[in-house]
Structure 1
Amino acid sequence: MSLTPQHAASLSAETLVVASGRPPRERDEPVNPPIVLSSTYFGTGPLGDGDRGYGRYANPTWDPFEEALGQLEGSELPGLLYASGLAAVSSALSLVPAGGVLVMPSHSYSGSLVMAAELAQKGFLELRTVDIADTEAVKEQIAPAGPDARPASMLWLESPTNPMLGIADIPALAEAAHQVGAIVVTDNTFSTPLVQQPLALGSDVVLHSVTKYLAGHSDVVLGALVTPNPDIRAALLHHRTIHGAIAGPFEAWLALRGLRTLALRIQRSQDSATVLAERLGTHPRIEGINFPGLANDPGHQRAKAQMKGFGSIVCIQVAPAGDLSGPDAADKLVRALQLWLPATSLGGVESLIERRRRHTAEPLSVPENLVRLSVGIENVEDLWADLKQALDTLDG
């Protein structure tokens, strides 16, 4: 590719999203990497390191995105692209040894929690869930006291958490995990590498649902993992190859195309999220708000220390209105919107909204009236006007 590791390290993330993963600078080479649609590759000798061989092992269309994401996360090794975010979760969880201990946030992406719980039910691992924002409580789960207590094999971090937006003290928790030999995996989907770099904070593996901000247009389903550790990467690559959760070349190409505008999209959506959170936080129909950019948010100071911004997700709890309970008022709010799109997922150019407990897999500790807003790149005053008119319907 066109950027050496040394050159990439000297560039800002805003430049890397545009410049990384380009073809070589040679006469008549394309500016953008082409899509390679092949299930197999020519060869007559034994397959070895560096050989593509077969479409489940490698595809040239994956390489530019994997290189770009690795450089964005501060790794000298390219990332690994997967068929979905949950495929990446599955691969990361495969690093837990048989019978090992997994410590995971009680408020995590529901798919991660469900997968971990199912593995625990089958006896493959022991699952301990904890409030990831409570540093001392997490440390107790990583290295519990007592002669028969077992230390963690893996610490799973998600910061901010989905959907409660809790902020973990990543450096302190990573240090505690490494003291007992545990691997640290951080889901960086909400922040992206432009806002937070978990590897620099002590994590061993970074996870992304590429579906969200990295691809950014609500048109692909992909996941990714990044690690600077060659042994861990080899284990993850083996798992992807053997379990077959590979990305389609067209989806990989779309994800790289979306990545090019990540810096612009993040800047716009973060700025708008801050404005909307400040206004929503004082609205009489809102009884609670979660957004680390607010000075009174419990995670504000920690987020300031670890992040370059506060993300583009805002969560509100809708107050009861008249005969409507909080959950019913939340549903009425969502139905009354005309610009915001009631839909799951997040991180696209369009602003999405949903009451999270409509998902049966969502943890019961998530309030029934909690509504998650994924702020897009529309004009912030238009977004606010739509929210305001929908909130006004709760008085009718």
Structure 2
Amino acid sequence: MIAVTVEWTPRTRAIVAGRPEGQGEPSNVPIVPASALGLGYSREDGTPTWVALEAAIGELEGGHATAFASGIATVSAVLDLLPAGVEVAVPGDSYVGTRAMFDHAEQMGRLRIRRVEPADTAAWVSAAAEVDLLWLESPTNPSLELIDIAAIAAAAKASAKRPKVVVDNTFATPLGQQPLALGADIAVHSATKLIGGHSDLLLGLTVAADEELARGLRDARTRGGATPGSLEAWLALRGLRTLGVRYAEASRTAALLAERLGSHAAVTRVRYPGSGAMISFELAGPDLADRLCERLRLVGHATSLGGVESTLERRAARAGDAHVAPAALRFSVGLEDPEDLWLDLAQALDSLG
């Protein structure tokens, strides 16, 4: 593989990392649909396609990467590392699938959960002295709250308990933040979303700060059979190559739309973390939010996010997200022309009266 230099920007490294090197080698890693390679099963040793994807993500996050069949499979793998009876701190607002996994583990008596408000850094620091794992998500899904990863990771390292710090980096992507550089032990991604970028795959990624943790996650993948397909790994790697330009363009559009939404009389609140493709905004009531979704023509009313197409959804209407503000809308900004997106949003907002 091409030797990547630290002088190159993350955008360049996302394009170069994991590529074959040498005369006669393909410019892109091919799909290797093999169930076994030599004397080993691919579920244990991986395929060249997985290896290239893991090398690229590991390079961007600064750690040792492991690919999984889905984003939720990464949560299962982290849980697999924990002994029974431990206490885990999780944010009150986070991805509904993650909360369901932790809730199930608690119901089965495997662990105890301490729920912490995302922005309450003091509560996280206090938890770092008492729990066995800190699961962070920043920005959170769907409310886009921010968590002080560096302060919490520092508290964890200073604690006698030395809890592991895991960060779901799906919304920020490795181009928006690198949790391991901020002191986290593991970063996880649903590559289904922004990394893949085209709404055509399911895949998860973990990146561990040290080889021992990475080995444990790989073992969990093998035991659980949560191995990615070679086609999905290839699609995720292809999506990663354009992440730099997609992330930059979506960020520019999202910043523009967040500003305009904040100035519209029908919008009562806007949250935008300053970069990335995700916006959260609220209307005066859930009925208005539902009517807005119905009247959009360009922006899709769908639960998906992170693709080249823009989508919008009222998350409180979904099972498991009752804690979300009733009229809050999660908006995933795609790559359409920003003026076309605003025309669609404006006509729908204006029609509410």
Shorter-chain TM range is over 0.9
Report the alpha carbon displacement of residue 65 of structure 1 after superposing the two structures with TM. 0.6
**Residue in 2 that maps onto 1:371:** 329
Partner of 2:2: 2
What CA distance in whole angstroms lies between the structure 1 residues aligned with 2:271 and 2:167? 20
Q: Superposed, which structure 2 residues align to 1:89-168 within 5 Å?
A: 89-143=75-129, 151-168=130-147
Point out where structure 1 has 5 or more consecutive residues left out of the alignment. Answer: 44-52, 144-150, 294-309, 320-325
TM-score (norm 1): 0.87
CA displacement at 1:24 relative to structure 2: 2.1
| Cα drift, residue 82 of structure 1 | 0.5
Aligned to 2:352, what secondary structure does the other structure show?
A: helix
3-state secondary structure, aligned to 1:378? coil
Partner SS state of residue 372, structure 1: strand
Cα distance in 1 between the residues matched to 2:209 and 2:164: 13
Aligned to 1:80, the other structure's residue is in SS state strand
Tell me by how many angstroms 1:345 deviates: 2.2
The aligned counterpart of 1:314 is 279
Deviation at 1:176, TM superposition (A): 1.3
- Compute the TM-score of the two structures, normalised by the length of structure 2: 0.97
Partner of 2:292, secondary structure, is: helix
Match of 2:184 among 179, 203, 210: 203
Give, in whole Å, the separation in 2 of the partners of 1:292 and 1:61: 34
Q: Percent identity?
A: 46
Contact 2:316-2:323 within 8 A present in 1 as well: no
- Give the distance between the partners of 1:218 and 1:67, measured in 2 at CA: 23
CA distance in 2, matches of 1:109, 1:159: 11
Question: Quick one: distance in 1 between partners of 2:189 and 2:296?
Answer: 29
Greater Cα offset, 86-95 or 65-74: 86-95
Q: Which residue of 1 aligns with 2:218?
A: 237
| Bigger shift: residues 169-178 or 246-255 | 169-178
2:185 and 2:38 map into 1 onto residues whose CA distance is 36
Shift of 1:208: 0.2
Match of 2:289 in 1: 330
SS for the counterpart of 2:176 is coil
Q: CA deviation at 1:175?
A: 1.3
Partner SS for 1:194: helix
Distance in 2 separating the partners of 1:210 and 1:220: 8
Q: CA deviation at 1:87?
A: 0.4
When the two structures are aligned, how many residues end up with a matched partner?
350
Using the TM superposition, give the Cα deviation of residue 238 of structure 1 relative to its aligned residue in structure 2, in angstroms.
0.4
Which of the residues 10, 17, 20 maps onto 1:20?
17
What are the Cα deviations for residues 258-310 of structure 1, in whole angstroms up to 9, with x where unaligned?
111100000000011001001111211111111123xxxxxxxxxxxxxxxx2
Matched residue SS, 1:10: coil
Q: Does 1:63 align with 2:62?
A: no
- Provide Cα deviations, 1:309-350, integer angstroms capped at 9, x if missing partner: x2211111111xxxxxx1111011011001001111211111
Q: Indicate which of 199, 204, 212 corresponds to 1:223.
A: 204
Contact 1:96–1:102 under 8 Å retained in 2: no
Hey, what's the Cα distance between the residues in 2 that align with 1:261 and 1:23? 18
Instruction: Determine if contact 1:154/1:177 at 8 Å carries over to the other structure.
Output: no
Q: Distance in 1 between matches of 2:197 and 2:110?
A: 35
Kindly provide the amino acid, as one letter, of the partner of residue 71 in structure 2: G
CA-to-aligned-CA distance 1:194-248 (integer Å, 9 cap, x gap): 1101100000000000001111100001100001211101110000001001100
Q: Establish whether residue 273 from structure 1 lines up as the match of residue 254 from structure 2.
A: yes
CA distance in 1, matches of 2:5, 2:92: 37
2:34 counterpart residue number: 38
Q: 1:264 matched to which residue of 2?
A: 245
Match of 1:357 among 295, 316, 331: 316
Corresponding letter in the other structure for 1:16: R
Contact in 2 for aligned 1:104/1:155 (Cα 8 Å):
yes
In the alignment, is the contact (CA less than 8 A) between 1:217 and 1:348 conserved in 2?
Answer: yes
SS state of the match for residue 288, structure 1? strand
Partner of 2:342: 384
Q: Deviations over 1:41-95 (max 9, x none)?
A: 233xxxxxxxxx00211112101110000000122x3x11110000011112222
Instruction: In structure 1, give the amino acid aligned to 2:152.
Output: L
Counterpart selection for 2:234 from 240, 248, 253 = 253
CA distance in structure 2 between the partners assigned to 1:93 and 1:132 by the alignment: 20
Q: Say if 2:128 and 2:162, in contact at 8 Å, map to a contact too.
A: no
SS at match of 2:42: coil
Aligned-partner residue type, residue 152 of structure 1? V
Q: What root-mean-square deviation, in Å, do the aligned CA atoms of Structure 1 and Structure 2 show?
A: 1.1
Q: Which residue identity lines up with residue 29 of structure 1 in the other structure?
A: E
Distance in 2 (alpha carbons) for counterparts of 1:154 and 1:8: 33
1:92-147 C-alpha deviation (Å, 9 max, x unpaired): 2222221111001000101111100110111101101111211112222333xxxx
Q: 1:46 is matched with which residue? A: none
Runs of 4+ in 1 over 3 A off after TM superposition: none
Note the C-alpha offset of 1:394.
Answer: 0.7
